[in-house]
Chain A
Amino acid sequence: MIRLMVLTTAWLTALSAVMQAAAQISLTAEPPVGKHEVQGVVVENDGKYQSTGYTPADLLFLLCEPDEIPGYTVVVREYRGHEIDGGTFAWMAPFGHTHVWLNVGGLSSSAKREELQCRVTRRWFPLERAQAYLARQIGSFIGLIGGGSIYVQVSLYQKRASQNYEEFQRESAALFYRGTPSGIPLGTESWYSLGPKKSTLSLCFVYDRSFVRVMSHPDPALGEAVAQSILYRLLIHPKGVVARAATPAVTLNGRTVQSAHLTALNGTVVAPVSVLKPFGVKVEVSRSVHFWHVTLQRGERWRRFVGRRARLMGR
């Protein structure tokens, strides 16, 4: 009996330690080596011997929020048993709507910090289909994927990303084209494919120490807009994860507009509308899951930006 009590106490102590460790894991600090789930974000840290110092939050900064793209949302996969969803197994858990890999390559004792990489992926689904999946009207997760999604993968390196169009095409069976579908420049180099039905965008771009891949079906233009938003977030990242572009000089009423979030995206000045508030600009936001209206008013003059299917960057 005493032995049983000792074992039970030891087990409870160990369980308590695990629970305390889980409770301490946050997205704003580097978690222990291993796999964790925090608020729907699955984090895998390989930094046993080396670390980049990036936290999950540093990677998440690069993505639109789960509910930021009008008409889309994220979904945590559910385990529903082999008969319903034979691609999802309980041992694959924890599931999340977003995955962060920190310090990939850092499990080797010979790893060098400059060879480590970090990666984040997130997938958004059309809102109605996401609701249908959660209501079990769509049985399997692959069934949900089949109805369309926006998938984003951002890789951050410690040195300049080595990917380029020629090498990518050489390693690809499908045909890719330089640039973007719209012709708007994206990063240092970009390339894309639209799939057999011209409705599936697979878009990659490289900028300094980053490599980004965006896939969007059935709305290629939306995928391209999301790719531009990632480039913007790379450029304004507070930790300077890539080389910053020269900050454009913008003056209003003779005063310089200053913001850490001000940058130039392909020659277009981009900044949060909040930087205009000190200049007497009123900002009115109206938002639903499908629409996002931002109205800027200064005196008698006003301008409305309509965010529908993520085209949120007014010019």
Chain B
Amino acid sequence: MLDAPKAPMSPAWVSELRLSCSWASRATDDSTAARKVTNALHLWGEYEEGEWFTRHRTDSFELFYLRMCLAEFMSSFIVGQCNDFADLLLCLQTSLGVPYRAVQRTHSLSQRTRPIDDEEWTLLYFRTKPLDVAHWGSSHYDGVSFWTYHQFCIERTSGRVWDSCIQFHPSHRIAVTGMPCEPDYRDYLVEAYIFGIVDAVTGIILDVREYTQPDFFWRPTPSGGLIPEVTAESIP
């Protein structure tokens, strides 16, 4: 360990330390340790779509069932979706004493509208550029994805991004280990935003438009990141 563990791993869990210390062995500074555990989780963790080990999500909170996530990872390598990867990576890094870490999402869950041509349009989802989705190498979810948001780990002081869920452009293997959030990370990630006009009563999408500028609706939320609540309980 490089320093005393930081929140949310303060105190650090033994089961978490076993992983983080193994993967970051021989690292002597924060950035090397952070890079090692980020790459290791991308190498050995399996992404699967859908709700897994995080619950009660708001723009400033989420609950991470770490014990269940570790149990699933150790039995099947499944980590879950981006929230689970980001939260687990946060725990791996902070258990080693790496400071100023939090998680952040590309977009708010609740504030997803912007006026376009005097009408209120809602972000439905965004289309990614080709991604190497965990695990490293050929995996089922490699390619272009359609996500309503994406969650990653940040350094709060600099806004730099660590993301073990994805690497960019499968043929080039660009790892996200301390990458500037803007423009690098944003421009590697986003291909297009898909907006719709949604009928407030029926929920039916009345019209759809696509915008291909990565900065058109880039809204990292919350601005300073959030630290999830970590629990050893079982998901009810």
B residues 183-211 in Cβ contact with A at 8 Å:
none
Q: Which residues from chain B contact A142 at a C-beta distance below 8 Å?
A: 43-44, 46, 77, 135
Q: A146-B135, A146-B138, A217-B140 are in contact. Are A176 and B50 (CB under 8 A)?
A: yes
Check A199 against B43 for contact (C-beta < 8 Å).
no
- Number of residues from A at the complex interface, CB < 8 A: 46
B152 to chain A, nearest CB (A): 11
Q: Which residues from chain B contact A44 at a C-beta distance below 8 Å?
A: 71
Q: Say which one of B51-59, B171-179, B219-227 lies at the interface with A.
A: B51-59
Give the tally of cross-chain contacts (CB within 8 A): 110
Q: Say which one of A16-24, A65-73, A128-136, A166-174 lies at the interface with B.
A: A166-174
Q: In the assembly, what is the distance between CA of A200 and CA of B144, in Å?
A: 14
Q: Which residues from chain A contact B71 at a C-beta distance below 8 Å?
A: 44, 101
A131 to chain B, nearest CB (A): 20
B188 to chain A, nearest CB (A): 17
Q: Which residues from chain B contact A89 at a C-beta distance below 8 Å?
A: 18-19, 22
Contact with A along B30-48 (1 / 0, CB 8 A): 0000000000100111101
Q: Which residues from chain A contact B28 at a C-beta distance below 8 Å?
A: none
Give the secondary structure class of A's interface: mixed
Q: A89-B18, A199-B140 are in contact. Are A204 and B50 (CB under 8 A)?
A: yes
B residues 90-108 in Cβ contact with A at 8 Å:
none
Check A92 against B74 for contact (C-beta < 8 Å).
yes
Q: In the assembly, what is the distance between CA of A117 and CA of B22, in Å?
A: 32
For B77, give its contact among A42, A82, A141, A172 (CB under 8 Å).
Answer: A141
Contact with B along A183-209 (1 / 0, CB 8 A): 000000000010111011010100000
Q: Which residues of B approach A to under 8 Å, CB–CB?
A: 18-19, 22-23, 40, 43-46, 48-51, 54-55, 57, 71, 74-78, 81-83, 125, 135, 137-151, 233-234, 236
Q: Which residues of A approach B to under 8 Å, CB–CB?
A: 42, 44, 46, 82, 86-87, 89, 91-92, 96, 99, 101, 104-105, 115, 117, 121, 123, 141-143, 145-146, 151, 162, 167-168, 170-176, 193, 195-197, 199-200, 202, 204, 213, 215, 217-218
